[in-house]
Structure 1
Amino acid sequence: MRLEILPVPGIGHVSEGDDLAALIATAAPWLRDGDVLVVTSKIVSKAEGRLVDVPADGPERIVARNEVLAAETARVVAARGETRIVQTHHGFVMASAGIDASNVDKTRLVLLPEDPDASARALRAALRERHGVDVAVIVSDTMGRPWRNGLTDVALGVAGMDAIRDHRGEVDPYGNELQLTQMAVVDELAGAGELIKGKCDQMPVAVVRGYLTALRPDDGVGASALVRDATMDLFSLGTAEAKAAGLAAAATLPDGPNPTPPDPEAVRRAIGTIANVVAPGTSFSLVADEEVRAGLTARVPGWPVAATTLVLGSPATPAGPADLVRFGADLQRLRTALAAEGVTSLLLPPPPGTTASAALAL
């Protein structure tokens, strides 16, 4: 495969209502069927009127920008000082919801296109129907990346090609079947286009030639295929936000035994986690012997039939009112540590006739 990345100079300033297809066709009469057109989202937004007026400077500008950011935000993923990493209503996770103040008058902010896939489809259709050239269209924007410094361009919208090249089921030269490999090829092409476009060169359009051997007859599902479902996202919150969510969850732990027998090692790890923070003399122990456990649980008031594991807890003796309050806090610490191991628990009175002050049914 031989690829060419070609600049499209001469687009000029884009204003609301401008015909992007006409501007691009005039600037690049050499476009060919099968080319991949990479268009910066900013000129798409400008043509579609996705701009808002804000004060040029001062605290009023900050207030106005924050209001715009709130309107464009579906949820906050992470925040550090004035920096906000948010999920937009499109599903993209970006700094400041993709709101941009560069390459635009100081009294305006540029928002992302309302529907980048629809924008890509419309531009492709206009080029094909009015200018006689059938290309794939990528609407691109710049994003940061977790775990790595630096920015790169990615696809927000696409038409005429698949967003993902799925290699699953293919066999590599060593005979290994690929199980997980799905390449975000439109992101790679968007990044390739950025090598030509730059940030300060007023080159908002690039063409990648030689990648596609055939266009889709339809537009495809678009770049929405790249948006990971929240239930599959292992990193849906920033570190501080995840810790805060965990602390909030610790205050609302469900009461009930674990639905399946917990791993004894997980229970021991939880006890070990809090060993150095509980009050001196406080002890928690897993009753490992099945015969002993059966005898004790038979005497625990309200022991649930579904519970399979018993943990006993005792404060230091003698225990005054303040010590018992602290013991209650330490019990909650243990329940939280168990929850972190995926083990739910139910607090019950201890078996009569023992030195324990509390029982946890797991």
Structure 2
Amino acid sequence: MAMKQLIHVVSFYFIIIVTLLTIQAFAPSSGCPPKENIFPQCTCTSGIVISCKVGKIDEIPLWAFRGYTISRLELTTYQENDKFFPHSFMGLTIKFIELKSFQLKTLSLMEDFQGLEKSLTGLSVVTSKVDNITASELKQISQEFSLLVTLNMEGSKCLVNTAIQYIGIPNLKNFICTGRSGNENFKTVPSHLLADFTKLEKVELSGIGFQSIENNVFPSDARYLRIINLRDNNLQELDIHLFQRLPVLKEVYLQGNKLTSIDKSVFQPVWNQLTHLYLNCNSVVCDCQVAWILFSPKKPANFIPPTCHGQSKIPNTAKFAGLILTDIDLEDLCPNWGQYF
């Protein structure tokens, strides 16, 4: 009986040891790939950050990355490439990819990154020239990039095709599109551009040069959207519905546009919840129509008022701006001032 129990115990521990060895054999390595396998195209630093500079994409030694968990992959090319080769990343584990100074004819979201569905948390396209950004619908559950939370296109063409429905990024939190590549003149942000990204927390569309943006750009269910940055564009007026259905919006950045007036009805849905509002560097005529924001007793904690230009109908605006005025003061500045507040 004792012998039988001993055999069971030995068998149990043998199974555990074999299982652990198997897991270890197939688990991603925690160190850098051997230098001789990636140099001179790539270097690897602590934290498994791999930087590669190549002419053509097929010169990247992707085969050497297999079996490693790569925290960040930085790719730079100095020749124009048509696109990523199909299934380039199959079998790899990469958490963040940055394409820097890339020249691509076509970038497809997220089809070009298939194989990274279970690891990719962020994609950044920085100061790159991409002639055409497209997207393919990824409807199969196995193709969802459920961990990807940041999509950053800085200084690159980023206003993607308006026909896109679902591209398999269900949990995107940060959408950043700044600057523009080439001489494109964007008059408006495409309708429903971000409508499917219901987990969005931050949207930055700055320095693109668009003249208008409507509320339907954002998700209809925007329960997490806290930050909207629209600075340094050519906005001349704001859609009256722009900030509707944004129950947790806290920060709005509108500096560096061409706003000439600030309509109270635009901000009314979110005014009491804002903590940041920047309106400087807009050519606003400071008349009684904008008195509500200049002299409101309740403003966001971090507030920069609009820059007054043109002929002001409010005397000594600079003297009074930022002060809490009495009813008598306001009546003197703007007769029948109550209609403006």
Alignment TM-score > 0.5, same fold? no
User: Which is bigger in relative contact order (C-alpha 8 A, separation at least 6)?
Assistant: 1
**TM-score, normalized by length of structure 2?**
0.26
Which structure features the higher share of helix residues? 1
**TM-score, normalized by length of structure 1?**
0.25
Structure index of larger Rg: 1
